[in-house]
Amino acid sequence: MLYKTNAKSLLVISAVVSWALLLANVLLSAESMREQGTAKIALPFVSNLLIIVFIVAVFLFQRMSAEALKGIDFIGYLWNLFSKAAVAAYLSVALFLGYRVMTNYADTESVLLLHLVYQINFGLLVIFLAKAFYIWRQLLLYHKNRFLQIAWDWFELLLGATLLLTLFNFHYTSFIFLPLLSLMGFYILFLCTNLKWVAYLTFNNKSRSLVLLGAILLSCYIFVRFFRGMSTSHDLVIDYTQVGFLLLAMMFVGFYTLAAFLVSLFSLPTSSVFEQKSEDLLNFQRLSQSIQQGQSEAQVYDMLFESTIKASDASAAWFELVRNGEPQVTQLLNVNSDQIKRIRHLLLAYNIHNIDYINNNLNRNPGFRDLMLPWKSLIILPIKSKKHLAGVLYLLKDIEQGFDRETVNVLRTFTSQTILTIENLRLVAESLQTERYKEELKIATQVQESLIPKNFPVDSWFEISTHAVAAKEVGGDFYDFLQLSESRIAIIIGDVSGKGISAAFHMAQMKGIFHGLMQQDMPPSEFMKQANSALSRCLERTSFITSALYIIDYSMKGFMFARAGHCHTLYYNAMMDDVFYFQTDGLGLGIIRDKSYANHIREMYYDYNPSDVMVIYTDGIVEARNAKNEEYGEDRLKYMLEQTYHLEAEDIKYAIINDLQDFTGPDNLYDDQTLLVIKFKPVEPNK
């Protein structure tokens, strides 16, 4: 970068010094020719060398200053060329006019002043050509290929080689060089056909480019006209029209500018069509990418509304979003609510509401004519799938035959893509919701699993076996225990109404109430009363919990329990060799939420015997149904205990569960199932 900066500084110094020396040489030569009797100073070789040094310095400086194309802001490049170079032509005109005014006013010709103006204009010409040459090179090589790059490199090399003609003072119009210069002319014409950048100009940009290209063309004409006019002057000691390099450079700059001007001019009528097609494709792409961009349905409808108005060039429009079967205007353009109401009323009368409808001659329809509307064409485009009507789009134009077949096809493509995008957005939302629900269920399942104890304490007084399975990811059954003292243990079983995350939440509440209240070692009936009071403040009005609490006292060889609407306890009395249900009263927690709840709870104490078996369960066991919709029932559960009471608690549980599964069949689980089998052992407690 430092090398480049130094090189550019060196080129600027070279250009300034060479131009100053050239001016001095020209003025000396002019002065020597003007004065009679003095020695003529004529150093054509020196002048040619200074001309070449100046041209090379300016062109190399512009070449190094030219940057690669950034984006497609071609108007910016044209403006850069005009503002920094082409305007030099107008400055040269002003300078020459100033010279003419001054000489006319003084009524005398000043040869030195004429040479000064001429040399200044020469410098402006070279700067203009260098700037234009390399800006056109950038645009010419837009979307280049290897052949075009090679062609340009050779053109630049050959053009530079023509400076040798000036250096050695060869006249380029000599018959020896004319064929070569003619070939260079054809070469320039070939290069001028590369105008791909013009195709990327919009309609408005092409209009602006025509102005700028016209101004640049005028600059070329000014310079050509000035130097061609001055070439006939006998007062000048140097004629720059003899420099072949400048002629070819001007040919390239002028022809390329003219070609760009003509291509822009003749492609102007079709620009709006291509722009519209490009805009349609871009809008279609935006609609297609709405899902990836995470846009909402409202944003998609906004995009549809704007896109269809642009595609059809509608003068008025509105969009109705259908919510709960009722239309709701969400977007409108150049139409008021009263006009919408009148049009919709007429369409309803014609029974053409919410269907595809095109009327390109509204004035020929008596109904529309009576409405006195300013529009003459109407199209109705429902946004609907096979099962769902999302909305209706209305477009109006103030001309007859406003919606041709191609426009209608484009509009229908937009509406089809819109409904597809909307449905996909909803599917994505549902999928995300499902995934979120699954994740919440997964967490709730983990919470539920953590709430249910995996192992009961092992003691010589009894053995216990448990079984719990949820019908869904998160069930409503729960059980727990709390060792109250060395010889007393509390066991609770319950069933929360409902399933899912709320059930897991209520289970957590019940577990907290159980451990909190039972720290006070209260009897089961008192626990139920206080639990009902606590749950009344945090349980939804539609929810309740059935539960049963057992406190087993090893030292007293008995247990007391209370039932809050839960299933009856199944019991086997070994001494009486009898299986029966404890028929006790009890109302579910949360059903009655005042002090009267205490009247619905009964507590019972029972002495157990060794080998007695107690089976506690939830309704998912006895209410399980088979394929014939027959219920498993309490009698079958009782029968199973009668057949298995002599087994270990674990074996009794498996026997009951296996029989239950044989009854219901595989994969026929409709409710949570929880089963606890407690068998009292005929041994003395550890002491």
Residue 686, pLDDT above cutoff 60: no
pLDDT band at 39 (very low <50, low <70, confident <90, very high): very low
Torsion of CA 583, 589, 593, 597, to 10 degrees: 20
Residue 215 token pair: 């101004």
Residue 169 token pair: 């003072």
Greatest alpha-carbon pair distance for the chain in Å reads 160
Average pLDDT over residues 390-411: 85
Q: What pLDDT shows up at residue 684?
A: 55
Q: What pLDDT shows up at residue 288?
A: 66
Q: Give the gyration radius of the chain's Cα atoms.
A: 50
Q: What pLDDT shows up at residue 55?
A: 94
Q: What pLDDT shows up at residue 216?
A: 93
pLDDT band at 272 (very low <50, low <70, confident <90, very high): low
Are 326 and 343 in contact by the 8 Å Cβ rule? The answer is no
DSSP type of residue 365: S
Q: Give 606's strand partners.
A: 559
Average pLDDT over residues 602-619: 92
What gap in Å lies between CA 23 and CA 32, rounded to an integer?
A: 14
Encode burial over 581-613: b for 16+ CB neighbours within 10 A, e otherwise. eeebebbbbbbbbeeebeebbebbeeebeebbb
Q: What pLDDT shows up at residue 685?
A: 45
- What percent of the chain stands above pLDDT 70? 91
pLDDT band at 687 (very low <50, low <70, confident <90, very high): very low
Question: By mean pLDDT, which of 149-153, 174-178, 532-536, 592-596 is the weakest?
Answer: 174-178
Average pLDDT over residues 520-540: 87
The SS3 assignment for 677 reads strand
Q: What pLDDT shows up at residue 249?
A: 93
Q: 203-230 and 74-81 are packed helices; what angle lies between their axes, rounded to 10 degrees?
A: 20
What gap in Å lies between CA 394 and CA 381, rounded to an integer?
A: 6
Is the pTM here over 0.75, yes or no? Answer: no
What gap in Å lies between CA 249 and CA 229, rounded to an integer?
A: 19
Residues 208-252: pLDDT tens digits? 899 999 999 999 999 999 998 888 887 788 888 888 899 999 999
What gap in Å lies between CA 390 and CA 418, rounded to an integer?
A: 10
Are 379 and 313 in contact by the 8 Å Cβ rule? The answer is no
What gap in Å lies between CA 324 and CA 301, rounded to an integer?
A: 17
Q: What pLDDT shows up at residue 496?
A: 84
Nearest Cα to Cα of residue 131 among 30, 62, 199, 79: 62
What is the full DSSP assignment across 4-58?
HHHHHHHHHHHHHHHHHHHHHHHHHHHHHHHSTTSPP---HHHHHHHHHHHHHHH
Are 492 and 548 in contact by the 8 Å Cβ rule? The answer is yes
Residue 84's alpha-carbon distances to 81, 137, 138, in angstroms, are 6, 16, 16
pLDDT, mean over the chain: 84
Looking at this protein, which amino acid is placed at residue 514? F
pLDDT band at 259 (very low <50, low <70, confident <90, very high): very high
What gap in Å lies between CA 359 and CA 394, rounded to an integer?
A: 12
Are 533 and 592 in contact by the 8 Å Cβ rule? The answer is no
Residue at token pair 């074996």: 651
Residue 549, pLDDT above cutoff 70: yes
Residues 284-332: pLDDT tens digits? 666 666 655 667 788 888 888 888 888 888 889 999 888 877 888 888 8
Q: What pLDDT shows up at residue 475?
A: 65
Q: What pLDDT shows up at residue 547?
A: 92
